[in-house]
Amino acid sequence: MQPCLPLDGLRVVELSTFVATPLGGMTLAQLGADVIRVDPLGGASDVHRWPLAPGGDSLYWAGLNKGKRSIAVDLSSPRGREIVTALATAPGQEGGVFVTNAVKRTWLEDETLRARRPDLIRVGLLGLPDGGAAVDYTVNAALGYPMVSGPTDLDVPVNHVLPAWDVAAGLHVALAVVAAERHRHRTGAGASVTISLWNVALAVAAHLGITANVELGGADRVRDGNYLYGSFGVDFATRDGRRVMVVALTARQWSELVRVCDVGDAVEVLGKALGADFTAEGDRYLHRELLGALLRPWFAARSSEEVARTLAGTGVLWSPYRSFTELVTDPDAPLTANPMMSVLEQPGIGSYAMPGSPLRFGAEHPPARAAPRLGEHGEEILSEVLQLSTTEIGRLHDSGVLG
């Protein structure tokens, strides 16, 4: 039996591409919302994005559209646009929620849609606050992070490979829907919420004190390799050529690390010579290279397995570095051992482990659900939401409006 989920009954119409907005819709779908993804005929520009399954289907697209229903229509035709507008503004207490990252389409703007449903909730994601185009990589470049990423001896920017701002923006999209829907439930009023990728990224940088530090006269951040800024975090090589990341955020974690590596006397002498208090994480950061040099011989003399066995019984934070392949094939921590993960059949691709929601309600994660095939639910959606007849739906097929 399908469990009752927090957003059961809520209907969200999503017209989107790439990462952020589809991730927002998927987040809502995993919590029970009926998310209807609308695509143009043949799919939007993200339908074939890498990585691809052996048969050529996009694992990326399938991953970001789990649990949704799909309809594909001719968005260039008046009838196709009317269908999307009607779906977004369809009556009913649980409907009237529209999320999109489409820009410069007057027929999708808030005023146009609100004329048909005054209590509409519209969440729109932009690149830049003024509506200009931007993606994660361009936002990150302008924000400053590539200038402090990578080895210390580089003098060129280093882009990250995780689309962090897309992910953060997508979660803001989901949050905006939940907040606006609660507001509508309490007041009866709809909402137009606009989010920009740039503002999400800038807000995070400001939350972490990066902009304020510069404003208040602090030194600019420098490239620092794998050290953890502001605390003690260092990567060490082991005897068998592997590497581990070791972090000691608290005084207790630091004392445990010093004890395990048997460098207490050396650390005490170093602290006295420098006038440093290594129970304070700021001092550990300032003298990270000297402290790292004291600890490296212990790691270099031991295999990665020996390091794992020893650190496992301590409060020290640590992890081996491993590849994506090692993550998936680790026999000691298989993906399916995580209760969030389920092996499901994805149409057109095959069976593999998929995540449900990371949120756990009581003892259970909302379960994973596969993504639809493009346009799979078109007839079902038009019949159920717009109450079109079989004959009317047939005409849409015949005219090429419905995929």
Report how far residue 276's alpha carbon sits from residue 272's, in angstroms, rounded to the nearest whole number: 7
166 an active-site residue? yes
**Cα separation, 291 vs 284, whole angstroms:** 8
- Contact between residue 59 and residue 52 where contact means Cβ atoms under 8 Å apart: yes
Backbone torsion region of residue 165, taken as left when φ is above 0, otherwise alpha when ψ lies between -120 and 50, otherwise beta: alpha
Separation CA 315–CA 302 (nearest Å): 19
Cβ-proximal residues to 184 (8 Å cutoff; 6+ apart), any chain: 119, 121, 190, 191
Which entry of 166, 224, 262, 398 is annotated as an active-site residue? 166
Cross-strand pairs, 70:
37
- The two three-digit tokens of residue 19, written as one number: 């990462």
- Residue 114, number of CB atoms within 10 A of its CB: 16
- Beta 243-248 vs 232-237: how paired, if at all? antiparallel
As annotated, the active-site residues are: 166
